[in-house]
Amino acid sequence: MRIAIVTDAWEPQVNGVVRTLQSVREVLERYGHKVIVISPDLFYSLPMPTYPEIRLAITRVKSVGAMIEEFAPHAIHLATEGPLCVAARRWCLREERPFTTAYHTQFPDYVSARSGVPAEWIWRYIRWFHSPSAAILASTPSIRQSLVDHGLDQVVHWGRGVDLKHYHPGLAPHPVIAGFEGPIQLYVGRVAVEKNLEAFLQSSHPGTKVVVGDGPSRNWLETHYPHARFMGPMFGDELASAYAAADVFVFPSRTDTFGLVMIEALACGVPVAAYPVTGPIDIVTPETGAMDEDLTVAIGEALKKNRAACAAYGRTFTWEASARQFLNALVPLDEEEVAA
């Protein structure tokens, strides 16, 4: 099968959307499918205001459409709601080509957190963008319900996975992090306002708070929370060793749709502490972590959980299953149109 994926989020960005698309593409290609990723690096682009790591592609509908047509896909997937996918959406509608979309991020809450714009205003845009989609891929039941509540009911489940070669129990702990005073409370992810990191850094649970990652809020947070240890970005084996050194993984975000880092931590045997919000409520179980509106309470309860139970649960999330779900959700184009 020939699959065209259009996305505004791609390398060198480091986030859950990019990692999901990379991992699923790898599995699909391993199974013999042909995948093209049409991303901002193929076009002239400008840095997103307040978030320069994200590049916004400047292109025309005709240019994006020409790339899709040249590849002659059997299915088209629009992964994000940015300008590149808007151009692809317009081309698909004009050419009467069916397509699927995905809801990766709580975009209304994300924009509201960064700009102060009411989330409901952004939901109008979300409805406009996704309404013509043949299927909207969503990662959890709570996200599905949120979309349905906002008038988008063509939702199909698309789960996430863990690279179990990297993330598993029994790894050697990171030598620096392991030397900090315990219990070691770890955060991994973007260091940005929408991740609500201050709630974690302000929690009163004793021990050491460790932040792995980078982002626009890092310098400010390092200055205002000198007791926390900011380790910068980590990947692969080094990131796995950071999980292995932690006693609890803390996920303070209230705007994520899933949270890949949670299942990576669980696969390493690390319990999760979080708020009872979308994302954690679909992943964290009573055996593998704790959720509470008081994050300090959640951390204390999560520390009591059995690491073996966490690791066993984390192993149930695979990229192979995620790729199968993605493939099954695609809506093939008419074969005669593809051949024309």
The rounded Cα 315 to chain-centroid distance in angstroms is: 18
User: Which phi and psi angles does 41 have, rounded to 5°?
Assistant: -65, -10
Q: Are residues 154 and 214 in the same domain?
A: no
Give the pLDDT confidence score for residue 338 in this predicted structure. Answer: 42
Whether residues 142 and 185 share a domain: the answer is no
What is the tens place of the pLDDT at every residue in 322-333?
A: 999 999 999 987
Asked whether residue 168 is domain-assigned, the answer is no
Cα distances (Å, whole numbers) of residue 268 to 89, 210, 230, 289, 333: 39, 17, 21, 13, 41
Q: Which residue has the higher pLDDT, 11 or 49?
A: 11
**Is 169 contained in some domain?**
no
- Is the pLDDT at 340 greater than 70, yes or no? no
Mean pLDDT value across residues 38-58: 75
DSSP strand pairing (272-274 vs 248-251) = parallel
Question: To the nearest whole number, what is the mean pLDDT of the chain?
Answer: 92
Beta bridge partners of residue 36, listed in sequence order: 4
Domain count, the chain: 2
Tens digits of residue pLDDT in 211-257: 999 998 999 999 999 999 999 999 989 999 999 999 999 999 998 88
Q: Is residue 166 part of a domain?
A: no
Please return the burial class of 152, using the count of CB atoms within 10 Å of its CB with bins 0-12, 13-18 and 19+: buried
CATH number at residue 327: 3.40.50.2000
Domain span including residue 147: 2-161+320-339
Residue 181 lies in a domain: yes
Q: Is residue 108 part of a domain?
A: yes
Spatial strand order in the sheet of 229-232: 229-232, 208-212, 184-188, 248-251, 272-274, 289-291
Q: Are residues 76 and 193 in the same domain?
A: no
Decide if 167 is inside a domain: no
Sheet containing 136-138: order of strands: 34-38, 2-6, 75-78, 100-102, 136-138, 155-157
Instruction: Give the amino acid at 325.
Output: Q
Provide the pLDDT for residue 112: 62
What confidence category does residue 107 fall into, taking pLDDT thresholds of 50, 70 and 90?
low
* Pair (146, 24) in one structural domain: yes
Q: Is residue 136 part of a domain?
A: yes
Q: Are residues 55 and 144 located together in one domain of the fold?
A: yes
pLDDT in tens, 164-174: 999 999 899 99
Q: Are residues 223 and 118 in the same domain?
A: no
Residue 116 belongs to a domain: yes
Lowest mean pLDDT among 110-119, 131-140, 211-220: 110-119
- Reported pTM: 0.86
